Amino acid sequence: MGRVFIEKFCFVVVVLAVLIGSSEANGCDFGCDLFEGSWVIDNTYPLYNSTACPFIRKEFDCIKYGRTNLEYLQYRWQPNNGCNLPRFDGKDFLERFKGKKIMYIGDSLSLNSFQSLLCLLHGAVPEAKFTQEIYRENATVTFLDYGVEIVLFHSNLLVDIEVESVGRVLKLDSIKSGQIWKEFDLLIFNTWLWYTRRPPGQQWDFVEVGGKLLKDMNRVEAFRAGLNTWAGWVDTDVDTAKTKVFFQGTSPAHYHGSDWGEPAVNNCLNEITPVNGSTYPSGLPIVVDIVKQVLNNMTKPGAVSLLDITKLSQLRKDGHPSKYNRFKGMDCTHWCLAGVPDTWNQILYASLL
């Protein structure tokens, strides 16, 4: 558990490659680990033209807001051991989910991934009719020709925050929105970033856990408690025979050059190439282990698939908007579109084949 293995995909790709005379699956090995590898230049990338995508928000639209070095668009994730990640096929994706509902649940990195999927699908079927509804921080896009509904549900922490007499209370043992989520056919969750926030960005005044009201607590332990509540909800409330559930691993930021071996660098502004190779100098954050521990301790084995995108994203110090966004602030947390989140969705697609 915790890794997406795609034996049946490798078999299908080998057969198709033979039929069409393609080298796409050369060396494809049964049991490929899609999350260990490196970034390589591929002149057939990006997978869509961002200027033609109607869904990209101003935070992620790097080309529109002045980024001129575009080499970051041409990197493809290459898993180790000669096994290739399948190219995203948007039309096939829509056919597979005809009449079904997909939901991304999480913070603004879920928004990043949600908009990536929309652009990938629109790029594949640009003439397909769609509707778009936006309500506050939630959004729904429906591809009408396929009856596929794709929803963004904004939930920074996954668990509840309620306003009580003492103020805003983060309830680490409660998930009321789950009643909405469990009705969908495919769920992709993400959280972590907002657990680390301090005032004034912090979203709560008190924390409630195990029947105790606290002014604060260790943020890593708060994350663990919230994630355990979420995992328990999946175990007890989600019909995993009907609903496929994914947890998207932690997406890294790049504000400290010492993390990738350049201690004099303090943001991602001038980064134009990925970290070379398959290893990130600072290693993985502790929350990666916590996520794997929580998933491994679930009572339904295999109920959740982990999109373990942390390391492959760590290597992409060049993929952030930096100052190339509508607000001109230094953003080394989110990702340009087209860009790295397209690979997250490419791996999601591979895991569904």
Q: Compute the distance between CA of residue 105 and CA of residue 336 in angstroms, rounded to an integer.
A: 20
Q: Compute the distance between CA of residue 335 and CA of residue 317 in angstroms, rounded to an integer.
A: 10
What is the chain's mean pLDDT, rounded? 92
Residue recorded with tokens 């010492």 = 258
DSSP state for residue 53 in the 8-state scheme: -
The model's pLDDT over 193-247, given as tens digits with 9 standing for 90+, comes to 999 999 999 999 999 999 999 999 999 999 999 999 999 999 999 999 999 999 9
Q: Please list, in sequence order, all residues whose beta carbon lies within 8 angstroms of the beta carbon of residue 144, skipping any fewer than 6 positions away.
A: 128, 129, 130, 131
Catalytic residue flag (residue 331): yes
The catalytic residue among 108, 113, 116, 174 is 108
Catalytic residue flag (residue 108): yes
Q: Domain-by-domain residue ranges, the chain?
A: 7-352
The catalytic residue among 110, 331, 342, 351 is 331
With beta carbons less than 8 A apart as the criterion, state whether 262 and 273 touch: no
Cα dihedral 154, 159, 163, 168, rounded to 10, equals -100
The catalytic residue among 322, 334, 342, 351 is 334
Residue 271: name the closest of 296, 288, 254 by CA: 254
Q: Compute the distance between CA of residue 146 and CA of residue 127 in angstroms, rounded to an integer.
A: 12
Q: Compute the distance between CA of residue 106 and CA of residue 137 in angstroms, rounded to an integer.
A: 11
Which segment of 46-50, 58-62, 135-139 scores lowest on mean pLDDT?
A: 135-139
Confidence (pLDDT) at 299: 95
Band of residue 32 on the pLDDT scale cut at 50, 70, 90: confident
DSSP string, 58-122: TTT-TTTTT----GGGGEEEEESTTPPPPPP-HHHHHHHTTT-EEEEEESHHHHHHHHHHHHHHH
Confidence (pLDDT) at 83: 87
Q: Compute the distance between CA of residue 189 and CA of residue 158 in angstroms, rounded to an integer.
A: 8
Residue 324: what residue type?
A: Y
Q: Is residue 224 classed as helix, strand or coil in its secondary structure?
A: helix
pTM metric for this prediction? 0.91
Is 6 a residue whose pLDDT tops 50? no
